[in-house]
């Protein structure tokens, strides 16, 4: 690494250190005080309303710190928070339940410990980065003659451990300042990284938390795999029923008609002609039903052109305007494509059937190893995750691939259904 690049990195690290020092001191003090007061107010009952809000703010503050750690220093800090159960109640009861869950989460108390460390040790480590660079300026200011009026006025000026009482000692201060600057050039990036490593000791999940998360994930995957097996069996029964009641019945009827035509073709040609026309019509109907059945299993446009074009084609068939924004530089695996397609299809159906929407927006993109889909409508809102709802069916479908579903649907709308599935593009 050349000298200019090292100097540039040191200056950038110094600016970041100054930012981190200010944010660490102010943000951590404010959030810690609010958290302690809000938790104390639980005894008065008010805390059940304020604590979830304050702790959510603490989590967002911590998540922002995690993001900066990864972006600025390459320090990855996993999120340790336990997810809230689906279908949580609204209103006061839901707020009390949310408060209870957050206080039972070990990560909440580790966040509060981190706030204490961040406002003290974290602040000191961060402020060293800009201080090492900027302190040199004061040494040079003293060396340029400012030491003298300060000394004559009776001031006992110190620069680090040097007592500045003469031009000679002022020059020593300037030289020491250069040394501090050079030290900053060498260690500033390490200081910023050390700040984030200190944060990781409190913000990252512990081994016990990781084991718990792994156990919960295994339980969830086991449950979703069972759901997938049940859904597959139900889907096979549906296909069998549709074939039996639809195309198969028509083909049997057509075979009987053709047998009758064979018997009448010489004795009653007119009747035979009518039966042939009916058989031709039945064959067309059977072909249409088979195509619809195949489209319901795996749409041809999905197999041929991928998820983006399949969702666009789906939107074109909607009875209301639907805007689709797709940003997929590649394709995902066929099972994930199919799950995502039918999840979008069901979300669009819900928006038309239940929300009464007259406009829909669909956003499909892939980033950070995650396929993200958002379906937004301007309907009446009020959609919730719960047993027996269509959204729960979507959640189970996505859960098969370790995907998640989030719903934001306040009364009066709008409703946003967000889906995330971990996958890679090829």
Q: What is the DSSP string of 59-116?
A: HHHHHHHHHHHHHHH-------PPPPPTT---HHHHHHHHHHHHHH-HHHHHHHHHHH
Tell whether 320 and 200 lie within a shared domain: no
Identify the pLDDT of residue 26.
92
Closest by CA to 373, choosing from 426, 412, 420, is: 420
Tell whether 342 and 287 lie within a shared domain: no
SS3 state of residue 303: helix
Q: Tell me whether residue 381 is in a domain.
A: yes
Domain of residue 383, CATH code: 3.30.565.10
Number of domains in the chain: 3
Q: In what order do the strands lie in the sheet with 370-377?
A: 322-327, 360-367, 370-377, 415-422, 404-408
Identify the pLDDT of residue 212.
66
Tell whether 167 and 221 lie within a shared domain: no
CB proximity list for 69: less than 8 A, separation 6 or greater: 75, 76, 77, 196, 199, 200
| Beta bridge partner(s), residue 162 | 159
Task: Burial-class residue 25 by CB neighbours within 10 Å (0-12, 13-18, 19+).
Answer: middle
The count of residues in the chain is 426
Written as six digits, the tokens of 118 are 């961040």
Tell whether 98 and 132 lie within a shared domain: yes
Chosen domain end from 297, 332, 360: 297
Task: Burial-class residue 34 by CB neighbours within 10 Å (0-12, 13-18, 19+).
Answer: middle
Q: Other C-beta atoms within 10 Å of 248: how many?
A: 15
Tell whether 320 and 398 lie within a shared domain: yes
Instruction: Determine the structural domain holding residue 178 and report its residue range.
Output: 1-205
Q: Tell me whether residue 396 is in a domain.
A: yes
**Is the separation of the CB atoms in 122 and 195 below 8 Å?**
yes
Identify the pLDDT of residue 90.
63
Identify the pLDDT of residue 247.
61
How far apart CA 21 and CA 4 sit, in angstroms, is 25
Tell whether 27 and 53 lie within a shared domain: yes
Tell whether 49 and 104 lie within a shared domain: yes
**Is the separation of the CB atoms in 62 and 111 below 8 Å?**
yes
Tell whether 201 and 230 lie within a shared domain: no
The CA distances from residue 173 to 7, 90, 149, 178, 294, in Å, are 22, 64, 16, 9, 83
Identify the pLDDT of residue 1.
53
CB proximity list for 201: less than 8 A, separation 6 or greater: none
CB proximity list for 301: less than 8 A, separation 6 or greater: 309, 310, 313
Tell whether 103 and 51 lie within a shared domain: yes
Task: Burial-class residue 328 by CB neighbours within 10 Å (0-12, 13-18, 19+).
Answer: middle
Identify the pLDDT of residue 216.
62
pLDDT per residue, tens digit, the chain (426 aa), is 577 788 788 888 888 889 999 988 999 999 999 999 999 888 887 888 888 889 989 999 998 998 888 888 888 888 888 777 655 566 667 778 888 888 888 888 999 999 999 999 999 999 888 888 877 777 777 777 776 777 667 666 776 787 777 777 777 777 887 787 788 778 888 888 999 999 998 888 876 666 665 666 666 666 656 555 555 555 556 556 655 556 666 666 677 767 777 777 777 777 777 777 777 777 777 666 666 555 555 567 777 888 888 888 888 888 888 889 988 888 888 878 888 888 888 888 888 887 778 888 999 998 878 889 989 888 888 777 665 566 777 777 777 777 888 888 887 878 888 888 888 887
Q: Is the peptide bond before 414 cis (omega within 30 degrees of 0)?
A: yes
Tell whether 281 and 356 lie within a shared domain: no
Identify the pLDDT of residue 303.
76
Identify the pLDDT of residue 270.
77
Residue with tokens 């018997």: 263
SS3 state of residue 154: coil
Q: Tell me whether residue 211 is in a domain.
A: no
């Amino acid at each position: 690494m050349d000298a200019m690049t090292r100097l540039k990195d040191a200056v950038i690290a110094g600016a970041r250190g100054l930012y981190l020092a200010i944010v660490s001191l102010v943000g951590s003090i404010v959030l810690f005080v609010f958290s302690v007061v809000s938790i104390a107010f639980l005894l008065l009952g008010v805390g059940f309303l304020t604590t979830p809000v304050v702790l959510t703010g603490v989590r967002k503050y911590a998540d922002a710190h995690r993001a900066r750690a990864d972006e600025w220093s390459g320090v990855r800090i996993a999120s340790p928070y336990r997810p809230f159960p689906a279908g949580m109640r609204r209103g006061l009861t839901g707020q009390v339940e949310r408060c209870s869950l957050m206080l039972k989460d070990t990560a909440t108390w580790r966040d509060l410990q981190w706030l204490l460390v961040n406002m003290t040790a974290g602040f000191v480590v961060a402020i060293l980065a800009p201080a090492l660079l900027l302190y040199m300026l004061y040494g040079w200011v003293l060396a340029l003659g400012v030491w003298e009026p300060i000394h004559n006025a009776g001031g006992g000026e110190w620069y680090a451990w040097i007592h500045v009482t003469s031009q000679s000692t002022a020059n020593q201060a300037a030289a020491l300042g250069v040394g501090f600057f050079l030290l900053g050039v060498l260690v500033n990036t390490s200081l910023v990284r050390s700040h984030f490593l200190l944060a990781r000791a409190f913000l990252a999940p512990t081994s016990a938390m990781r084991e718990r998360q792994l156990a919960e994930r295994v339980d969830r995957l086991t449950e979703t795999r069972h759901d997938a097996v049940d859904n597959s069996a139900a889907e096979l029964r549906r296909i069998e029923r549709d074939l039996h009641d639809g195309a198969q019945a028509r083909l049997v009827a057509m075979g009987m008609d053709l047998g009758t035509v064979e018997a009448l073709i010489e004795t009653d040609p007119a009747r035979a002609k009518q039966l042939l026309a009916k058989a031709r019509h039945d064959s067309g109907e059977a072909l249409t039903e088979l195509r619809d059945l195949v489209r319901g299993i795996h749409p041809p446009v999905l197999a041929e052109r991928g998820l983006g074009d399949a969702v666009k084609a789906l939107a074109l068939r909607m009875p209301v305007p639907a805007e689709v924004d797709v940003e997929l530089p590649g394709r995902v695996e066929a099972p994930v494509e199919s799950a995502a397609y039918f999840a979008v299809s069901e979300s669009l159906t819900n928006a038309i059937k239940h929300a009464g929407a007259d406009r829909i927006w669909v956003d499909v993109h892939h980033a950070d190893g995650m396929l993200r889909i958002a379906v937004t409508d301007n309907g009446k809102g009020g959609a919730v995750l719960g047993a027996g709802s269509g959204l729960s069916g979507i959640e189970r479908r996505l859960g098969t691939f370790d995907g998640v579903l989030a719903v934001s649907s306040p009364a009066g709308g709008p409703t946003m259904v967000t889906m995330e599935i971990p996958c890679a593009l090829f």
